[in-house]
Structure 1
Amino acid sequence: MKRIGVLTSGGDAPGMNAAVRAIARKGIYHGLEVFGVHQGYSGLIEGHIEKLEAGSVGDIIQRGGTILQSARCPEFKTLEGQQKGIEQLKKHGIEALVVIGGDGSYQGAKKLTEHGYPCIGVPGTIDNDIPGTDFTIGFDTALNTVLDAIDKIRDTASSHERTFIIEVMGRNAGDIALWSGLAGGAESIIIPEENFDMNDIVQRLNQGSERGKKHSIIIVAEGVMSGTAFAEKLGKVSNYDTRVSVLGHIQRGGSPTAFDRVLASRLGARAVELLLEGKGGRAVGIENNKLVDHDILEILGKPHNIDNSMYKLSKELSI
Structure 2
Amino acid sequence: MEKKVTKIGVMTSGGDSPGMNAAVRAVVRTGLYHGMEVFGIMRGYAGLIENDIFPMHSKSVANIIQRGGTILKTARCKEFLEHEGRKKAYENLKKHGINGLVVIGGDGSFKGAQKFSNEFDIPCIGLPGTIDKDIAGTDFTIGFDTAVNTAVEAIDKIRDTADAHDRLFIIEVMGRDAGYIALHSGIATGAEHILIPEKKTDIDHLISSLQEKEKRQKLVNLVVVAEGDGFGGAEEVAKLVKEKLNADTRVCILGHIQRGGAPSCLDRLIASRMGYSAVECLMEGRHNVMVGIVNNKMSYTPLDKAVKAKQKIGDDWMKIVKILAS
Question: When the two structures are superposed, what TM-score results if normalisation uses the length of structure 1?
Answer: 0.98
Q: Which runs of 4+ in 1 moved over 3 A?
A: none
What's 1:107 paired with? 111
2:185 is aligned with 1:180: yes
2:235 is aligned with 1:228: yes
2:211 is aligned with 1:237: no
Q: What are the superposed Cα offsets for residues 243-291 of structure 1, whole Å, 9 maximum, x if unpaired?
A: 0001110000000000000000001111100000012111111111111
Superposed counterparts of 1:91-170, under 5 Å: 91-115=95-119, 116-170=121-175
Displacement after TM superposition at 1:207 (Å)? 2.5
What's 2:312 paired with? 305
2:255 is aligned with 1:248: yes
**Contact 1:120–1:282 (CA under 8 A) maintained in structure 2:** yes
Distance 1:293 1:156 in 2: 45
Superposed counterparts of 1:1-319, under 5 Å: 1-115=5-119, 116-224=121-229, 225-319=232-326
Displacement after TM superposition at 1:215 (Å)? 2.6
Distance 2:97 2:314 in 1: 44
Q: In the alignment, residue 88 of structure 2 is paired with which amino acid?
A: K
Q: In the alignment, residue 284 of structure 2 is paired with which amino acid?
A: E
Displacement after TM superposition at 1:58 (Å)? 0.6
Displacement after TM superposition at 1:226 (Å)? 2.2
Displacement after TM superposition at 1:144 (Å)? 0.2
Displacement after TM superposition at 1:213 (Å)? 1.2
Q: In the alignment, residue 26 of structure 2 is paired with which amino acid?
A: A
**Contact 1:199–1:237 (CA under 8 A) maintained in structure 2:** no
Q: What are the superposed Cα offsets for residues 1-31 of structure 1, whole Å, 9 maximum, x if unpaired?
A: 2100100000000000000000000111111
Distance 1:117 1:178 in 2: 38
Displacement after TM superposition at 1:197 (Å)? 1.2
Distance 1:103 1:190 in 2: 23
> What is the DSSP-based 3-state SS (H/G/I as helix, E as strand, rest coil) of the residue aligned with 2:201?
coil
> What is the DSSP-based 3-state SS (H/G/I as helix, E as strand, rest coil) of the residue aligned with 2:308?
coil
**Contact 2:107–2:306 (CA under 8 A) maintained in structure 1:** no
Q: In the alignment, residue 245 of structure 2 is paired with which amino acid?
A: S
Q: In the alignment, residue 265 of structure 2 is paired with which amino acid?
A: A
Displacement after TM superposition at 1:312 (Å)? 1.5
**Cα RMSD after superposing both structures:** 1.0
Unaligned runs of 5+ in 1: none
Distance 2:246 2:101 in 1: 56
Distance 2:126 2:146 in 1: 20
Q: In the alignment, residue 278 of structure 2 is paired with which amino acid?
A: A
Which stretch shows the higher mean deviation, 243-252 or 307-316? 307-316
Q: In the alignment, residue 57 of structure 2 is paired with which amino acid?
A: E
Q: In the alignment, residue 297 of structure 1 is paired with which amino acid?
A: D
Displacement after TM superposition at 1:149 (Å)? 0.5
> What is the DSSP-based 3-state SS (H/G/I as helix, E as strand, rest coil) of the residue aligned with 1:47?
coil
Displacement after TM superposition at 1:301 (Å)? 2.0
Of all paired residues, the percent bearing the same amino acid is: 55
**Contact 1:22–1:268 (CA under 8 A) maintained in structure 2:** yes
**Contact 2:211–2:245 (CA under 8 A) maintained in structure 1:** no
Distance 2:88 2:308 in 1: 26
Q: In the alignment, residue 62 of structure 1 is paired with which amino acid?
A: Q
Displacement after TM superposition at 1:180 (Å)? 0.4
Which stretch shows the higher mean deviation, 291-300 or 275-284? 291-300
Displacement after TM superposition at 1:203 (Å)? 2.0
**Contact 1:113–1:280 (CA under 8 A) maintained in structure 2:** no
Unaligned runs of 5+ in 2: none
**Contact 2:135–2:309 (CA under 8 A) maintained in structure 1:** no
Q: How many residues align?
A: 319
> What is the DSSP-based 3-state SS (H/G/I as helix, E as strand, rest coil) of the residue aligned with 2:139?
coil
Distance 2:315 2:73 in 1: 35
Question: When the two structures are superposed, what TM-score results if normalisation uses the length of structure 2?
Answer: 0.96
